[in-house]
């Protein structure tokens, strides 16, 4: 910790009221930080494979070493403790716990999460487990991946291996992180693992991810011997029409449908949105629903994890004014709001965060919300000591925490906020080039140095709590 740094100017400290029970945390995921990809019996995930595809990841980066967290876990837990947070959201690597995605538990791999849980509890930090943050065992992809219905059942089996071991100490369980990314980026757009480009495969993946969530949730709930919280984390933006034209309004409807309602309607109401079913039918596609699936998917759950980075507008015409593409499908074109951008070229739109949270409260009432990810990449410059004076990231966090407080004032039941991310890490297709950490990582030496934003976050939590 840099002893002279005091965090950002007082003006950035939100003058917001968040209750003492509000959970403050930091988040990571297994493949992005752990490294040690062949240790203790771990076998390749789809990300290990994808990283080997020429051109798939910026600079040909991969997660072989990442932040070497697997070997540095105790120091990293001490670092988390130094930030003054209540909770740590991490994910479990399926191919560590159950290499190949089926069969018995790999004790040596599961032991890592056992030690991590104990280390966190000893440090007074609440462990929040995410069971799937995109590292599907490669063998399951070879058998068809998420478009294959069997993967949902494999996921539920794997979830129980983790649950059986950690549920005596872990209270908060998240099944999936951002199924939209798994389905669309992985199976339709192909920019994430496994890199497939098949619209119908993505539609099947959506359904089987949701089914896997429901199957795992039911089994964990049935096995729970005390009060626990079960949930799912979705990435959600806002989808506003770029103009009030009918074409733009329809594009925004489609984007909102495929981005948000296609998950939340089955989860909360037990049905896919009628307009999405119609849109799919118009292109000869459909969710592969079997009898009883929607009852399983809509198993009541306790917490909705919200990952928010930015809001988008949508246009129903391409740059030439066409309303349909060469295949005859309606155009749904992203138009980024005209705002300052982060290093990801994502616009900074905190007011849309409030808009999203209030809308979730309105459209899916009674569902407690937790912000499981929010943060920003900027082109950091570290000084000789490794310290980064990241005013930009600090301002981003301050504005978005204020946005959460504003949504709470409008009635939204938001119970916590996790900064993405604890430390710089492997940012998927962007490799190590994009830094989201509130702690700087020197990848040559693996030295971690809290950035100004980390000190500010720590101070803000203390200040809001009146410490």
- 331 vs 78, 247, 250, 258, 334, CA distance in Å? 49, 9, 10, 14, 10
Task: Report the residue number, 273 or 437, with the smaller CB distance to ligand FCB.
Answer: 437
Task: Report the residue number, 241 or 259, with the smaller CB distance to ligand FCB.
Answer: 259
Q: Please, is 65 exposed, middle or buried when counting C-beta atoms within 10 Å of its C-beta (0-12, 13-18, 19+)?
A: middle
In the complex, the smallest distance separating the C-beta of residue 181 from ligand FCB, rounded to whole angstroms, is 6
Task: Report the residue number, 316 or 350, with the smaller CB distance to ligand FCB.
Answer: 350
In the complex, the smallest distance separating the C-beta of residue 420 from ligand FCB, rounded to whole angstroms, is 5
DSSP sequence for 146-193: TTSTHHHHHHHHHHHHHHHHHTTT--EEEEEE-HHIIIIIIIIS-SST
Active-site hit among 178, 244, 351, 409 = 178
Instruction: Take residue 388 and report the two structure tokens written for it.
Output: 């980064």
Q: Where are the beta strands (DSSP E) in 212-318?
A: 229-235, 239-241, 303-307, 312-315
Active-site hit among 141, 373, 399, 430 = 373
- Phi/psi of residue 273, each to 5°? -60, 135
Where along the sequence are the contacts to ligand FCB (CB under 6 A)? 29, 32, 177-178, 181, 235, 307, 373, 420, 427-428, 436
Task: Report the residue number, 174 or 315, with the smaller CB distance to ligand FCB.
Answer: 174
In the complex, the smallest distance separating the C-beta of residue 435 from ligand FCB, rounded to whole angstroms, is 10
Q: Please, is 415 exposed, middle or buried when counting C-beta atoms within 10 Å of its C-beta (0-12, 13-18, 19+)?
A: middle
Q: Are 184 and 221 in contact (CB under 8 A)?
A: no
Q: Are 378 and 391 in contact (CB under 8 A)?
A: no
In the complex, the smallest distance separating the C-beta of residue 282 from ligand FCB, rounded to whole angstroms, is 29
| 184-206 burial: b if 16+ Cβ within 10 Å, else e | bbbbbebbbbbbbeebbbbbbbb
In the complex, the smallest distance separating the C-beta of residue 142 from ligand FCB, rounded to whole angstroms, is 24
Q: What is the bridge-based pairing of β-strands 447-450 and 439-442?
A: antiparallel
- 178 vs 98, 202, 409, 424, CA distance in Å? 22, 14, 27, 20
In the complex, the smallest distance separating the C-beta of residue 238 from ligand FCB, rounded to whole angstroms, is 16
Task: Report the residue number, 89 or 408, with the smaller CB distance to ligand FCB.
Answer: 89
Task: Report the residue number, 428 or 456, with the smaller CB distance to ligand FCB.
Answer: 428
In the complex, the smallest distance separating the C-beta of residue 436 from ligand FCB, rounded to whole angstroms, is 5
CA 351 to chain centre: 20
CA distance 383 to 434: 18
Task: Report the residue number, 119 or 427, with the smaller CB distance to ligand FCB.
Answer: 427
Task: Report the residue number, 160 or 423, with the smaller CB distance to ligand FCB.
Answer: 423
Which of 276, 436, 410 lies closest to 356 in space, CA to CA? 410
CA distance 149 to 288: 9
Taking the alpha carbons of 355, 350, 25, 236 in that order, is the dihedral positive or negative? positive
Which of 14, 11, 27, 91 lies closest to 438 in space, CA to CA? 27
In the complex, the smallest distance separating the C-beta of residue 34 from ligand FCB, rounded to whole angstroms, is 13
* Known active-site residue 373: yes
Q: Which residues are catalytic?
A: 178, 373
């Amino acid at each position: 910790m840099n002893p002279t740094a005091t965090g950002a100017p007082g003006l950035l400290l939100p003058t917001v009221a968040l209750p003492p029970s509000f959970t403050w945390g930091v988040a990571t995921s297994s493949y992005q930080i752990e490294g040690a990809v062949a240790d203790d019996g771990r076998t390749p995930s789809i990300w290990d494979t994808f990283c080997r595809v020429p051109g798939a990841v910026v600079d040909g980066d991969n997660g072989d070493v990442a932040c070497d967290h697997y070997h540095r876990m105790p120091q990293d837990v001490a670092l988390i403790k130094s930030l003054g947070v209540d909770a740590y959201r991490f994910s479990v690597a399926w191919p560590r716990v159950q290499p190949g995605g089926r069969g018995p538990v790999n004790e040596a791999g599961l032991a890592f999460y056992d030690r991590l849980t104990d280390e966190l509890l000893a440090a007074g930090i609440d462990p929040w487990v995410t069971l799937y943050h995109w590292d599907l065992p490669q063998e399951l992809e070879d058998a068809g991946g998420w478009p294959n219905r069997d993967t949902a059942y494999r996921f539920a089996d794997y979830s129980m291996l983790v649950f059986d071991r950690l549920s005596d100490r872990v209270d908060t369980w998240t099944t999936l992180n951002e199924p939209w990314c798994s389905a669309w980026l992985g199976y339709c757009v192909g920019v994430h693992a496994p890199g497939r480009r098949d619209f119908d495969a993505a539609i099947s993946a959506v359904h089987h991810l949701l089914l896997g969530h429901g199957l795992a949730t039911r089994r964990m709930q049935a096995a729970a011997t005390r009060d626990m919280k079960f949930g799912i984390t979705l990435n959600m933006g806002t989808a506003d029409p770029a103009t009030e034209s009918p074409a733009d309004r329809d594009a925004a409807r489609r984007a909102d449908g495929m981005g948000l309602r296609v998950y939340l309607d089955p989860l909360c109401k037990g049905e896919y949105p009628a307009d999405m079913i119609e849109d799919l039918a118009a292109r000869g596609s459909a969710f592969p629903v079997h009898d009883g699936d929607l009852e399983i998917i809509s198993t009541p759950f306790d917490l909705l994890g919200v990952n928010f980075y930015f809001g988008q507008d949508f246009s129903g015409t391409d740059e030439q004014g066409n309303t349909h593409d060469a295949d005859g499908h309606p155009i749904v074109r992203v138009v980024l709001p005209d705002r300052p951008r982060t290093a990801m070229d994502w616009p900074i739109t905190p007011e849309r965060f409030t808009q999203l949270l209030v809308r979730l409260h309105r459209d899916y009432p009674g569902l407690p919300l937790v912000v499981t990810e929010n943060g920003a990449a900027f082109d950091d410059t570290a000084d000789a000591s490794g310290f980064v004076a990241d005013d930009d990231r600090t301002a981003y966090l301050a504005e978005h925490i204020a946005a959460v407080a504003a949504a709470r004032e409008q009635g939204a039941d938001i119970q916590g906020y996790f900064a993405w991310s604890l430390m710089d890490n492997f940012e998927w297709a962007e490799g190590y080039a994009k830094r989201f950490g509130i702690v700087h990582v020197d990848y040559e030496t693996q030295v971690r140095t809290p950035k100004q934003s980390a000190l500010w976050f720590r101070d803000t939590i203390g200040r809001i709590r009146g410490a």
